[in-house]
A and B are shown apart, each in its own frame.
Chain A
Amino acid sequence: MSKRTGTDGSLLNSLPWTLGALAFSVLPHLQFLPAWVTVIFLGCCAWRLQVERKRWRLPPAWIRIILALLCFIGVLASYESVSGVGPGSALLAVMAALKLLETKQRRDQFVLLFISIFLIMSSLLREQYLWSLPYLFAGVLFTMTAWLRMSDARKISVRQSLGTGARLIAYSAPLMIAMWIFFPRIATPFWAVPIDTSSATSGLSDQMSPGDVSSLSLSNAVAFRVSFDGEVPPPYKRYWRGLVLHRFNGRTWSGNDPAMGSRPRDDVEYLGDPISYQVTMEPTRQHWVFALDVPYDTDLDRTFMARQQQLARIQPIDQRISYNAVSHTDFRLNNELGMTARQYYLALPENSNPRTQEISRNMRETAGSAEDFINQVLKKFNNEEFFYTLEPPALGNNPVDRFLFDTKRGFCEHYASAFAVMMRAAGIPSRIVLGYQGGEMNPMGEYMIVRQADAHAWTEVWLPGRGWYRVDPTAAVAPERIEEGRYGAMLDGVGAAWGLTAPSEWLYQITMTWDALNTKWNEWILAYGPDNQNRFMEWLGMEEPDWRKMILTLVTILVVLVTIISMLLMLRYRPPPKDKAAQLYRKFTESTGVDPDQGETPLSYALRLGTERSEVSAHASQVTSLYLDARYGPPEITSIHKLNSAVREFIRRA
C-alpha cells in the first residue's frame, strides 16, 4: 500500500510538455507581475517535476490550502485588488502553479492546459502588438502538442504531435477568421477591461522647465503615424500642435487644463486649402490629441478644441486611437485680444530673470516696430554663439538669464522659453506650444512616422492686426532641425540603438518595413471596430448592417466552413485501404522464399517461417504482428506506415 501514496511516474512523459506549455503562456505576463509570482511559478514547476521523477508524494491538502490562501493574500497585498488584468493574471499564474501540486491524473493536466490557453489569450489584454500574433499561435500550438503528448506519448513522435497540433490549428483558423470578421462589434464594450495603467508610455509633459532637465533623451518610440489624403506638407510646415503653455513663474511654464465651452473656431480665420489626414496615435495617458498646426475638425469622439486651438479628449488616451482630422497651415488667429487676455499673455514674475527683461526692453526701444524687434531677437540667436545641443548644462535660478548670457547652449525648450520671456518683457503677448515638429515618411508604407524624438517646443506671439502667429526660435539657431526633416538624424538614432556607429541602409530598411507592417496591423486588425466593421460589411454588399444580419451571416458561414472542414477531415482520416496492408504483406511473403499455404494464418506462417529460416524469425514475427494490426485491428493511420517501414526494412535485410 505504501507504494500507492507516491506518484507512479505515469505522467513523466507528458508532464514536461504541460509545464513547458504553461510556462510559455505565463511568460508574456511575467514582466508585469510581481517577482514573487515568478518565484512561486517556477518553484512549483520544479517541485512537481521532481515529485514525478523521484516518485515522491504530493503535498497534503492542508499545505495546498495554506499555500493557496497565502498566494491569494499576496496578490491582494501586491495589487490591493483582485480584479483587473494585473491581479487577474497574477492569480491565474499562481493558481496554475498550485494546481500542479495536486495534479495526479490526466484530468488535472487537462485543467492545466485549459488554464494555459486562457493565460495566453489573456496576454492580449496587455499588449496587442504584431508579434503577439505569432507568439499566440506558438503558445496555442505548444499547448495542443502538450495535449497530444499527454494522450499518446509513447506511440507518437514529437514531430507527429506537433504536426497534428498545427493541423488542428489550421483547421480552426478559417472559423477564427470568420468569427473575427463577422462577430458584431460593440461601440462601448460593456465588458471593457480595466487597462493596466502602470505601464504608461512617455509623452509630452504638461509643464516645461528648461534648465531643470539637463538632457533630452532621443527616444525612437513612435508618437503617432500620419497618412495624408493629399500632398504631404513640407517639413517646415509640419508643426504638430499639442498643448499650449502660457503661465511662467520664472522657472517653469505651465498651461491651463483644457477649457471647455469656448468656441475657439470663431477666433480663427482659416486661409488656404484644408489638409486632411489620418492620425494613429499611440497611448499617452494624457488628454492631448495631436493635430497639424491649427486644426479645423476631427472625427474623434469626446474630443473638443480648447481655447488655444489645441485638441483635447475628455478621457485620457490610454489606448491606441485613430482619427481623421482637417487642418490649415494658413490662418489668422485672434485678431482681437481683450485686455484681460493681453495681461494674461504678458505676465512675468517681477524679480525673475532681470538681465533678460532689461536687455529685452532696451532692444525694443531701439527697434522701430514690433516685427523689427522680433527679427532682431532671432538675429541675436543666429549671430551670437548660441548652440543647439541635446545635453545643455543645468541652469539653476533665473534660467533664462543664465541661458542667454552665460551658457548659450540648449535645445528647443530653452530657445522657446527665452524667446517668449523676451517678448513678454517687451510687451508682446507670447505663449509656448508643445508638440512635435517634422516626421519622416516611411517609404514602405506611404505614411509618416512622428517619433518622441521629434518632440518640439516653439512660441507664438500676438501682434495687433496679425493675431497669433508662430515664431520658432530654434529655427534661427539650428535651421536644419526644422527644414531638413530628420532622415539623417533618424538613421543615426537607429544605428546607435543597435550599437552601430555608421548608419546602415539595410537596418533602416528593416526598421521601416517592420514599422509599415505594424501600421498595417494597427490599421486593419486592431482598428477593426464597429465603424470599420460596418464599412466592411457594406463593402461586402450587406445593406444597413446590424448585428442580426452579421450573426446570421456568421452562422451561415460557420455552418458552411464546418461542413467543408469535416468533409476534408473525413477524406483525410478515412482509414487507408486494407488492400494496402495486404499488398505489403504479399511483398513480405514473396521476399521470404517460403510460400504461405492456402488457409494458413499469418501467425502460423510466421511460426513455420521461424522454423524454416530461423535467422529472420524475429523480424518476420514483427512484420506479422504489424500486418495483423494494420489489416485486422481498428483503423489507425500510423499502423500502415509502420507496416510499410517494417516490410521495407525486412526486404532490405533479406
Chain B
Amino acid sequence: MQQGNTLEKLPLGGDKPRAALDAARDSLNSIILGKDAEISLALACLLARGHLLIEDLPGLGKTILAQSLARVLGLSFQRIQFTSDLLPADIVGVSIFRQESGQFEFQPGPVFAQLVLADEVNRATPKAQSALLEAMEEKQVSVDGKTHALPSPYFVVATQNPSDQIGTFPLPESQLDRFLMRLELGYPNEENERALLTGTDRREMLVEVAPSLTPEVLVALQKSATKVHMTEPLVDYIQALVRFTRESPDIETGLSPRGSLALVAAARAHAFIEQHSGVFPDDVQAVFTSVAGHRLKPASNSAYRMPAELSRHVLDNVSIP
C-alpha cells in the first residue's frame, strides 16, 4: 500500500507523542528491513489496543519483530515458548505455599508483562492456548479464586506456523477472532536480504536501539488514534465491504459486527499513523487483509483459497462511495 501524502498534519495527540511515534516506526524499520507496510500494520494494531497474530514459516523474523516492538515501545517484555506440554500454570503463574509466612503467595507467570510474545502458539494444546486467550480477553488472570490484573497497556503478540505444518493445533475461528490482526511477513526481497546478510546481527542491534516511547505516551497515542475523523461516506464504504463478505458466494462466513468494529478501529489507527486528516479508503484497504483475512472462511467451492486472495477479491469488487 502507498504511503499517505496528505498535506495536513493531524492536530491530534500534540506534536511530541506524534514525533515519538514516527521515531519508533523508523527504529523498527531499521531493524526489520523492507517490511514498512507490515510494521505500520503492527503499530496500528497496538494503537488500536488489539492483539497481533503473526503467521508465517519459521525464520522469517516473527520473533525479532515482537522483540523489537517491545524494545522500541519501551514495554516490559516476556516470552512464552509454546510447546505441546505447556500447562496453563506455566503461562498465568501459580500460588506457592511459603513456609516462612505460612501463606500461599502468587507467583506471577510470564503473562504478566506489557508485551507478551507467545511464540508458536499453535504448538501447544488447546487448554494452554485458551489460558492465554482468556488473559488477552479479560486483561486479568484468576488463580485460586483471586483475580490479578494484567499490566496496562497490554499486548499479546502471538506467532504461529502455518497450520499445514506437522504437529500443530490450529487455533479455532472463535479464538482467531480475539486477535485484531493477523500478519504474514513473507520473504525479504533480494536487496534487503543482502543487507541482512552483510549487516550487524539483528539481535545485537536490538540491544543497542533506544526505546522511543513510554507506556504513558503509548496510552496517549492510543487515545488520540480513536479520535481520527470518520465521515459518512467512509462508514458507507465499510458497510459495503462487510455486506459483500456476508453476501458473496465465495465466502462461507462473512465479517461479524465485532469484525467490522475491528476494521474501523484498525483503519483509524492506520490513518493516525499515516497522519491522514481523516480515515481514508486507503486506510481501510491497508488494514483489510490483516483484519479480515483470518475472520473470513472461504466457501468450499471458492477459487480464492488464501486469505490474501479472498480479501483482494472483496476489495476489488466493492466500489468506493
Q: Which residues of A contact B (CB under 8 A)?
A: 578, 582, 597-604, 607, 621, 625-626, 628-629, 631-634
Q: How far is the CA of A631 from the CA of B236 in the complex (A)?
A: 13
Chosen A-B contacts, 16 in total, with CB atoms closer than 8 Å, are: A582-B233, A599-B317, A600-B320, A602-B280, A602-B281, A602-B282, A603-B280, A621-B5, A629-B277, A629-B278, A631-B233, A632-B231, A632-B276, A632-B281, A633-B277, A634-B278
Closest 5 CB pairs of A and B: A633-B277, A633-B278, A632-B278, A634-B229, A601-B282
Q: A578-B231, A626-B7, A632-B233 are in contact. Are A599 and B278 (CB under 8 A)?
A: no
Q: How far is the CA of A214 from the CA of B317 in the complex (A)?
A: 103
Known: A600-B320, A604-B2. 4 other contacts (CB 8 A): A603-B2, A603-B280, A603-B282, A628-B278
Q: How far is the CA of A578 from the CA of B231 in the complex (A)?
A: 9
Residues on A with C-beta less than 8 A from B278 are: 628-629, 632-634
Q: How far is the CA of A607 from the CA of B3 in the complex (A)?
A: 10
Q: How far is the CA of A631 from the CA of B234 in the complex (A)?
A: 9
Contact A625 B231 (CB under 8 A): no
Residues on A with C-beta less than 8 A from B2 are: 603-604, 607
B14 within 8 A of A: no
Distance in Å from the Cβ of B264 to the closest Cβ of chain A?
13
Residues on A with C-beta less than 8 A from B230 are: 632
Contact A634 B277 (CB under 8 A): yes
Contact A598 B317 (CB under 8 A): yes
Interface of chain A, main secondary structure: helix
Q: How far is the CA of A626 from the CA of B5 in the complex (A)?
A: 10
Contact B282 A598 (CB under 8 A): no
Residue among B230, B281, B315 facing the most chain A CB atoms (10 A cut-off): B281
Distance in Å from the Cβ of A616 to the closest Cβ of chain B?
15
* Contact indicator per residue, chain B 257-299, by CB within 8 Å of chain A (1) or not (0): 0000000000000000000111111100100000000000000
Nearest A residue to B11 by beta-carbon distance? A634
Q: How far is the CA of A625 from the CA of B5 in the complex (A)?
A: 7
* Contact indicator per residue, chain B 182-224, by CB within 8 Å of chain A (1) or not (0): 0000000000000000000000000000000000000000000
Contact B279 A632 (CB under 8 A): yes
Residues on A with C-beta less than 8 A from B5 are: 603, 621, 625
Nearest A residue to B8 by beta-carbon distance? A629
Q: How far is the CA of A629 from the CA of B277 in the complex (A)?
A: 6
B316 within 8 A of A: yes
Contact A625 B6 (CB under 8 A): yes
Residues on B with C-beta less than 8 A from A598 are: 316-319
Contact of A601 among B6, B233, B277, B285 (CB under 8 A): B285
Q: A625-B5, A625-B6, A625-B7 are in contact. Are A599 and B279 (CB under 8 A)?
A: no
**B residues 1-22 with Cβ under 8 Å of A?**
1-2, 4-8
Residues on A with C-beta less than 8 A from B7 are: 625-626, 629
Residue among A578, A628, A631 facing the most chain B CB atoms (10 A cut-off): A628
B232 within 8 A of A: yes
Q: How far is the CA of A160 from the CA of B199 in the complex (A)?
A: 55
Residue among A578, A603, A621 facing the most chain B CB atoms (10 A cut-off): A603
Contact A599 B233 (CB under 8 A): no
Q: How far is the CA of A381 from the CA of B230 in the complex (A)?
A: 97
Contact A603 B4 (CB under 8 A): yes
Q: A603-B2, A604-B2, A633-B229 are in contact. Are A628 and B280 (CB under 8 A)?
A: yes
Q: How far is the CA of A625 from the CA of B8 in the complex (A)?
A: 9
Distance in Å from the Cβ of B266 to the closest Cβ of chain A?
16
Residues on A with C-beta less than 8 A from B231 are: 578, 631-633
Contact of B276 among A578, A582, A626, A628 (CB under 8 A): A628
Contact A599 B316 (CB under 8 A): yes
Residues on B with C-beta less than 8 A from A604 are: 1-2, 282, 285
Q: A628-B276, A628-B277, A633-B278 are in contact. Are A601 and B320 (CB under 8 A)?
A: yes
Q: How far is the CA of A612 from the CA of B143 in the complex (A)?
A: 62
Nearest B residue to A622 by beta-carbon distance? B7
Contact A597 B279 (CB under 8 A): no
Nearest A residue to B271 by beta-carbon distance? A632
* Contact indicator per residue, chain B 229-244, by CB within 8 Å of chain A (1) or not (0): 1111110000000000
Q: How far is the CA of A599 from the CA of B281 in the complex (A)?
A: 9
Q: How far is the CA of A634 from the CA of B276 in the complex (A)?
A: 10
Residues on B with C-beta less than 8 A from A625 are: 5-7
Nearest B residue to A631 by beta-carbon distance? B233
Distance in Å from the Cβ of A621 to the closest Cβ of chain B?
6
Residues on A with C-beta less than 8 A from B316 are: 597-599
Residues on A with C-beta less than 8 A from B232 are: 578
Contact B285 A632 (CB under 8 A): no
Residues on B with C-beta less than 8 A from A632 are: 229-231, 233-234, 276-281
Distance in Å from the Cβ of B194 to the closest Cβ of chain A?
26
Nearest A residue to B244 by beta-carbon distance? A599
Residues on A with C-beta less than 8 A from B315 are: 599
Q: How far is the CA of A600 from the CA of B316 in the complex (A)?
A: 7
Distance in Å from the Cβ of B289 to the closest Cβ of chain A?
13
Residues on A with C-beta less than 8 A from B233 are: 578, 582, 631-632
Q: How far is the CA of A601 from the CA of B282 in the complex (A)?
A: 6
Q: How far is the CA of A604 from the CA of B281 in the complex (A)?
A: 10
Nearest A residue to B286 by beta-carbon distance? A601
Distance in Å from the Cβ of B295 to the closest Cβ of chain A?
19
Residues on B with C-beta less than 8 A from A631 are: 231, 233
Residues on A with C-beta less than 8 A from B8 are: 629, 633
Residues on A with C-beta less than 8 A from B276 are: 628, 632-633
Residues on B with C-beta less than 8 A from A634 are: 229, 277-278
Q: How far is the CA of A278 from the CA of B38 in the complex (A)?
A: 88
Q: How far is the CA of A411 from the CA of B279 in the complex (A)?
A: 88
Nearest A residue to B315 by beta-carbon distance? A599
Q: How far is the CA of A582 from the CA of B321 in the complex (A)?
A: 8
Contact B319 A599 (CB under 8 A): yes
Contact A629 B229 (CB under 8 A): no
Distance in Å from the Cβ of A49 to the closest Cβ of chain B?
26
Q: How far is the CA of A631 from the CA of B231 in the complex (A)?
A: 8
Distance in Å from the Cβ of A110 to the closest Cβ of chain B?
19
Residues on A with C-beta less than 8 A from B280 are: 601-603, 628, 632
Q: How far is the CA of A631 from the CA of B285 in the complex (A)?
A: 17
Q: How far is the CA of A257 from the CA of B140 in the complex (A)?
A: 96
Q: How far is the CA of A631 from the CA of B317 in the complex (A)?
A: 21
Distance in Å from the Cβ of A607 to the closest Cβ of chain B?
5
Nearest B residue to A607 by beta-carbon distance? B2
Nearest B residue to A575 by beta-carbon distance? B231
Residues on B with C-beta less than 8 A from A599 are: 285, 315-320
Nearest A residue to B319 by beta-carbon distance? A598
Residue among A578, A602, A607, A633 facing the most chain B CB atoms (10 A cut-off): A633
Distance in Å from the Cβ of A605 to the closest Cβ of chain B?
10
Distance in Å from the Cβ of B3 to the closest Cβ of chain A?
9
Q: How far is the CA of A597 from the CA of B281 in the complex (A)?
A: 14
Distance in Å from the Cβ of A156 to the closest Cβ of chain B?
14
Residues on B with C-beta less than 8 A from A607 are: 2
Residues on B with C-beta less than 8 A from A602 are: 280-282, 320
Residue among A631, A632, A633 facing the most chain B CB atoms (10 A cut-off): A632
Q: How far is the CA of A603 from the CA of B271 in the complex (A)?
A: 13
Q: How far is the CA of A603 from the CA of B274 in the complex (A)?
A: 13
Q: How far is the CA of A599 from the CA of B311 in the complex (A)?
A: 12
Contact B319 A601 (CB under 8 A): no
Q: How far is the CA of A578 from the CA of B321 in the complex (A)?
A: 11
Q: How far is the CA of A296 from the CA of B232 in the complex (A)?
A: 79
Residues on B with C-beta less than 8 A from A621 are: 5
Q: A602-B281, A604-B282 are in contact. Are A628 and B6 (CB under 8 A)?
A: yes
Residues on A with C-beta less than 8 A from B319 are: 598-599
Q: How far is the CA of A10 from the CA of B276 in the complex (A)?
A: 24
Nearest A residue to B6 by beta-carbon distance? A625
Q: How far is the CA of A621 from the CA of B317 in the complex (A)?
A: 24
Q: How far is the CA of A540 from the CA of B232 in the complex (A)?
A: 50
Distance in Å from the Cβ of A590 to the closest Cβ of chain B?
16
Residues on B with C-beta less than 8 A from A578 are: 231-233
Distance in Å from the Cβ of A584 to the closest Cβ of chain B?
14
Residue among B230, B231, B319 facing the most chain A CB atoms (10 A cut-off): B231
Residues on B with C-beta less than 8 A from A633 are: 8, 229, 231, 276-278
